[in-house]
Structures are given as structure tokens and as C-alpha cells.
Chains A and B, each alone.
Chain A
Amino acid sequence: MFWVTAAVFVIVSAFVLAAVFQRRSAPAREEVLNVCVTLGVAATVVTLFVLLVASIWTGRAVASLGASSAVTINLTGRQWWWDAEYEDGTPSRRFHTANELHIPVGRPVVLKVTSVDVIHSFWVPNLHGKRDLIPGYTTAIWLQADTPGVYRGQCAEFCGLQHARMALYVTAESNDAFEQWRTNQIKEAVQPSTDDARRGRDVFLRATCTQCHTIRGTIAGAAMGPDLTHLATRGTIGAGTLPNTRGHLAGWVLDAQSAKPGNQMPPNAIPSGDMQVLLTYLEGLK
């Protein structure tokens, strides 16, 4: 695309320069003028017809993308993270996750994007151009990944203090790997199997966490913060702010304001004993 536009730019520039530097000569003869006009009209008509055929071609290609096999994701921008809901015809197979998308390679993906606070913009440069997330309005975009990989996305519309730390990771993987991931995400959270993890769960449910977060399978069901049901499967916390390790998680729970000032996670003074078992529980949420 770059080289095509570069070539067009060079050609146009050459004509402009030629016109600028060429001296005005004697008035052209009638025959020469006629030939020029005919050539110009012919070139335009041919180009338009080529574009018309190309447009039909593109339309057919888009129509045959296979809408029935598409994966539909409702992506909601928030200050400053992404809430993703994978749609499914069966309500029990819908689920929420945050800040990380998984998509199958070679299958079309429909993203229905919207926002609940200010205007954000979905931008994963390797997969799609920018598309704004408008509060109160849902926009549908189609994309398809042809090469497996992890693609980094970023909010591309200034949305407040932590606009820069509003990243989104898209993992494109084989259809089997994707279905396996989806099957796991649909499940409720793993029941803690050790005493420590059980105590950690109780700390979670007793503390302020349940005011904003959901862990499916427990009584925690609030939707103000990211869904934590499968937190341990995610690579980052705070929308790409920190890697998802035990240490960073502890820092985030205690004082998220130092890593991402202004976000909605309040400081939580959890005693160290409780914190250790809480981390054990959170790390077990595979």
C-alpha cells in the first residue's frame, strides 16, 4: 500500500513540476487538443469501469466471509480498561473477560464496540484500523487474523489520565487452541483445593473486592471492574500496565494508584497474612 501511494505521489509530483517549469509555447493546434481530451476521457472511463468490477469482486469476497462461523465479541471501553463479552447463541456459553482477546486464525471476527464513559478508540494496527468507541452507540467491525501471534492494541482516542495505559492484547491462535481457551473461559472459577487458597477466597469475599469484581462461581458478581474468574490465564494486569506476577499483583491490590494513578481501584490495606493467601487464591484462577 505504501509503495502504491508513493508511486502515485511521484507521478503526480512529476506532472506538476513539468507544468510549472515548462514554458508557455505557441497555442496548440485543434487536432492535438482533440486527441488529448479523447485520451483523458477514455482513461477516466476505463478506470471507473475497472473500479466498478473491483468493487463487485470485493463485495462478493466480503459476502462469502462466512458470517455463520464468525466469533462475535462485545467490546466495551472503560476508563481505563477493556471489557470483552464473547457472544453465543446459548446464554450459558457467554462470558466476560478483560483486556485480552483470543481469536481463531482464518475465521472472521465481529467486534461490536461501544463505551460506557467517554470516547475510546479500538486500535490493533496489525489487524484493523482505528475505530472509535462511542458511548451509547454500538459500531460493528469485521476483522480476520491470517497469521497466529499476539498483537498489541491500544486505545487511540485520548480518554483521560491513563489513556496511555489502556492496552489490549489480541492472541490469534489455531481454531482448536481457541476453542479450548473458550471452553475454559466459559467455566466457573476453579474451586480452591488447598487450605491457603480457601482462606484466600474468604479474604476476597470479605474484603472490598466484591464491590466491583466478579468471580463466577462465588457470590462476587459486580460489574464495575474487570471479571477475575480466570485472572491467572491473563498475561497482564491493569490493562497491560504490569505483568501478571505474584509480586505485581500484590502491589496492585495494595496500592494500584502508584502504578496507574487515577484508576478506579482504591488502595486496600490488607494485612500481609491475608494478602499471601489472597494471592495464592488469585494465582489459582486458571
Chain B
Amino acid sequence: MRTELVVAAALLVAVAGCKRERRTFRESPPASMASDVAVSDLHPGGGSPPERSINPYEQNAWALNEGKWLFSAYNCSGCHANGGGGMGPALIDDEWSYGHEADQIYRTILEGRPNGMPAWRGKIPDQQIWQLAAYVRSMSGLAPKDAAPSRSDHMSANPPENATPRLTPKNAGTPPAAVQ
């Protein structure tokens, strides 16, 4: 009896600690763009590397799903082909040409990258870029499993994002298109 009471009390305390995920419709971008996003680990002149901007959307199931929806709405698949890669590099693998951190991906979408990635500055609102960046990370299992999208509306060759094994990101070096 005593054990049950203790368990019940512990559960009550745990429930009180639960917070429902809030959904806000008007929000400022999760992080204002730091001007110095490090693409590599090398820092000339020593000193500490610039701090990473955190993307809270990565913990948010709704934002990740929005990212997934935007990925098809804005025809990212036109080049990245559902993450498998085509004209653009694959996004479901562990290779990253310009960094796998949230702010690096944000920067990649915002400013574009050499050899094909267009700059979306002024075309995609800031929050949506952060949502897309969060989703792109979830494609190779870098977003939390309890928040990543669980099922596609249509048939898909890949397992859903929350069933994707977490890959260890590695630097891909020169983007494929630059190789002559």
C-alpha cells in the first residue's frame, strides 16, 4: 500500500511537470542570424569559435512537420529529390558539404551555396527557413525521435524521419558538382 502511494505521488509530480507543446502562429524567428556562422572547424588567429545558434524548432513536432510540408511546397525535391539527391546533394546521408549544424543549414538556405544552391533570402520568411533547417536535419536522424515526422502522406522509398537511424555527420569536402 505504501509503495502504491509513493508511486502515485511520484506520478502526480511527474504529470505536474508536463508541459503541453505550445503552438504559436506569430513568432519571431527562433534565433536572429549571427553574421559569423562557422563553416569549418578551423579558426584563424586562435580564440574561441563563434557560438552556435540553437534551433528550438528541432524539438517541436509541429514545426518539423511544417518543414516537411514546405520542403515539398517549395519544390526542394526538384533538386534534392526527397532527400535522395539528384541535381543537388543527398540530404538523407551523413555527408555535409557546408556543415550539418542548424545555423549552417539556415545559412545555406538563406544565402545559397556555390554550384547550384540558390539564395532564398527575401523569398522564404525567416521562420520557415528555420523550420526547413530543422526538417533537413531530421532527414538523417539528427532531430529528436519524439518530434520528427512519423509518416508520409504518400508512398515513400525512405523510412519516416523518426525511424531514420541517427547518422554521424561527416564533412563531405568538395561538393560533387565542383569536381571536374
Residue among A208, A261, A267 making CB contact with B123, cutoff 8 Å: A208
* Contact status A257-B122, CB under 8 Å: no
| CB of A206 within 8 Å of the partner chain | yes
* Contact status A268-B125, CB under 8 Å: yes
| CB of A276 within 8 Å of the partner chain | no
Which residues of chain A from 243 to 286 have a CB within 8 Å of any chain B CB?
255, 257-258, 261-262, 266-268
Which residues of chain B from 42 to 77 have a CB within 8 Å of any chain A CB?
73-74
* Contact status B26-A257, CB under 8 Å: yes
Residues of A within 8 A of B74 (CB): 211
* Contact status A224-B73, CB under 8 Å: yes
Which residues in A have some Cβ–Cβ distance to B below 8 Å?
Answer: 206-208, 210-212, 224, 255, 257-258, 261-262, 266-268
Which residues of chain B from 115 to 131 have a CB within 8 Å of any chain A CB?
122-125, 127-128
Asked if A266 meets B73 with Cβ closer than 8 Å, knowing A255-B26, A257-B25, A257-B26, the reply is: no
Mostly helix, strand, loop or mixed at chain B's interface?
loop
Residue among A211, A255, A267 making CB contact with B124, cutoff 8 Å: A211
Number of interface residues of B (CB under 8 A): 10
Report the minimal beta-carbon distance from B99 to chain A, rounded to whole angstroms. 25
Report the minimal beta-carbon distance from A253 to chain B, rounded to whole angstroms. 12
* Contact status A266-B125, CB under 8 Å: yes
Residues of B within 8 A of A268 (CB): 125
* Contact status A267-B73, CB under 8 Å: no
Which residues in B have some Cβ–Cβ distance to A below 8 Å?
Answer: 25-26, 73-74, 122-125, 127-128
* Contact status B122-A266, CB under 8 Å: no
* Contact status B25-A262, CB under 8 Å: yes
Report the minimal beta-carbon distance from A204 to chain B, rounded to whole angstroms. 12
Residues of B within 8 A of A206 (CB): 122
**How far apart sit A202 and B127, CA to CA, in the bound complex (Å)?**
24
CB closest chain-B residue, reference A266: B125
**How far apart sit A257 and B73, CA to CA, in the bound complex (Å)?**
19
* Contact status B122-A267, CB under 8 Å: no
* Contact status A208-B25, CB under 8 Å: no
**How far apart sit A167 and B160, CA to CA, in the bound complex (Å)?**
35
Q: A208-B122, A255-B26 are in contact. List 8 more A-B contacts (CB 8 A).
A: A207-B122, A208-B123, A210-B123, A212-B73, A224-B73, A266-B125, A266-B127, A266-B128
Asked if A258 meets B123 with Cβ closer than 8 Å, knowing A212-B73, A266-B128, the reply is: no
**How far apart sit A252 and B124, CA to CA, in the bound complex (Å)?**
17
Residues of A within 8 A of B127 (CB): 266
* Contact status B124-A208, CB under 8 Å: yes
| 11 interchain pairs, CB-CB under 8 A | A207-B122, A207-B123, A208-B123, A208-B124, A208-B125, A211-B123, A257-B25, A262-B25, A266-B128, A267-B125, A268-B125
**How far apart sit A212 and B124, CA to CA, in the bound complex (Å)?**
10
CB closest chain-B residue, reference A269: B125
